[in-house]
Amino acid sequence: MGRDHRTRRSAFSPTRAALGRPASPNKTEPARTPRCTRGVITDEEAIALARAGDLDAYGTLVARYTALAHRTAYLLGAGPDTSDVVQEAFVKAFKALPRFRDGAQFRPWLLSIVANETKNLHRTKKRRNLLELRVAEDPVDHRDPANLAVRDAAKTELLNAIRALPDKDRLVVTCRYLLDLSEAETAQTLGLAKGTVKSRLSRALTKLREAVSHD
């Protein structure tokens, strides 16, 4: 079967000049890398190939995770700078591939870089962007104006309550529930201990229940 990852392109793609090439783990002998034997290359295979300098293999990872990286950066507060944050995160991730731990998951590792780039943006510009958080649509009858009004009012109330949370609590709620990351992935993305994620989630959810349950 052909190497499909060479033919797939992403609408967003860091330039080859920006990516450069990661340092080879063995400068005297090229590392042996797995070949794609199936229609879809795995993250592990793409990482091994990219470490050896295969930019098309890295392009597969870019295509696979661009949408999630954009959503993460935006929800964490990158606002209109989301595209710049994501591009810089992919470039830094590529350059850091030689340090990527074998057997680790690529997705939370990448999102931790996206989160750090978003924090750097906030530090540089000394400002905080309000989030436009997405809430999954409720299975209501959209033809019923009463149901629609109730749904929109509840959605607005919840969004306002999330925005009002302290930054630390808001970030864990965003990662855990709006990005649908596991507690372990949330911890890795935000650079926190799992116990810290659990305590902040508990505190945030208590505040949200109080905020949306008042008469």
Number of domains in the chain: 2
Query: Are 117 and 14 members of one domain?
Result: yes
Query: Are 49 and 155 members of one domain?
Result: no
Give the Cα-Cα-Cα angle 46, 52, 58 (nearest 5 degrees): 35
104-108, 148-152, 157-161, 166-170: segment of lowest average pLDDT: 148-152
Query: Are 97 and 195 members of one domain?
Result: no
Dihedral of the alpha carbons of 35, 87, 94, 9, in degrees to the nearest 10: 10
What would the DSSP string read from start to end of 49-80? Answer: HHHTT-HHHHHHHHHHHHHHHHHHHIIIIIGG
CATH code, 108: 1.10.1740.10
Q: Count of CB atoms within 10 A of residue 50's CB?
A: 25
Query: Are 114 and 8 members of one domain?
Result: yes
Range of the domain at 62: 4-125
Check pLDDT > 50 for residue 137: no
Check pLDDT > 60 for residue 36: no
Query: Are 113 and 159 members of one domain?
Result: no
Per-residue model confidence (pLDDT) at position 152 = 55
* pLDDT band per the 50, 70, 90 thresholds, residue 153: low
Query: Are 22 and 116 members of one domain?
Result: yes
37 CB burial (10 A radius; 0-12, 13-18, 19+): exposed
CATH code, 206: 1.10.10.10
Note the Cα 113 to chain centre separation in Å: 9
| Residue-wise pLDDT tens digits, 176-213 | 888 888 999 999 999 999 999 999 999 988 888 888 76
Model-level pTM? 0.62
